Amino acid sequence: MMKPTLFLRISAVLALVHAVMHTVGGVFGKPVPGAGEAAFAVMQSNHFLFMGVTRSYAEFHRGLGLMVSIFLTAEAIVFWQFSSLAKTDAQRLRPILATFLIAYLALAVNSYLYFFGLPVITEALIAASLGLAVIAAKPSPSA
């Protein structure tokens, strides 16, 4: 029988890989030549006052991208911590894991609609490993 600890550690590693790839490629990656470069140049050149601070769309883009990277890293750490908790009380983690499972399914749909295949695959794999952790965290028959 598979243990939820294994699936949570798989989720943790996948979330960390997702965070690194998002940061390297998405946040600090260079725009593609042509239309991508032109669009990014416009995002950098237009500054506006927002909530008392002058910012550009490029700064918002980078800030939001880093925010996603921070949360993906935090989730990787939380999944690893859950894997330790699952050794003694996995059943109580099920509602929390189900919440993350639903969130990762929603992220995969969002990535499919607005981004590209690689995050869809990564998020679907994280959702699958979280789903397997939920299933593996069922109460034991003797309980």
Write the CA distances from 31 to 39, 57, 58, 112, 143, integer angstroms: 9, 14, 11, 20, 55
Burial class from Cβ neighbours inside 10 Å (0-12, 13-18, 19+) for residue 38 reads exposed
Compute the distance between CA of residue 5 and CA of residue 138 in angstroms, rounded to an integer: 13
- Cβ atoms of 64 and 71 within 8 Å: the answer is no
Residue-level pLDDT, tens digit, the chain, 143 residues: 679 999 999 999 999 999 999 999 999 999 999 999 999 999 999 999 999 999 999 999 999 999 999 999 999 999 999 999 999 989 999 999 999 999 999 999 999 999 999 999 999 999 999 999 999 998 766 65
| Residue 2, helix vs strand vs coil | coil
Report the predicted TM-score, pTM, of the whole model to 2 decimal places.
Answer: 0.91
- 23, two tokens: 């940061």
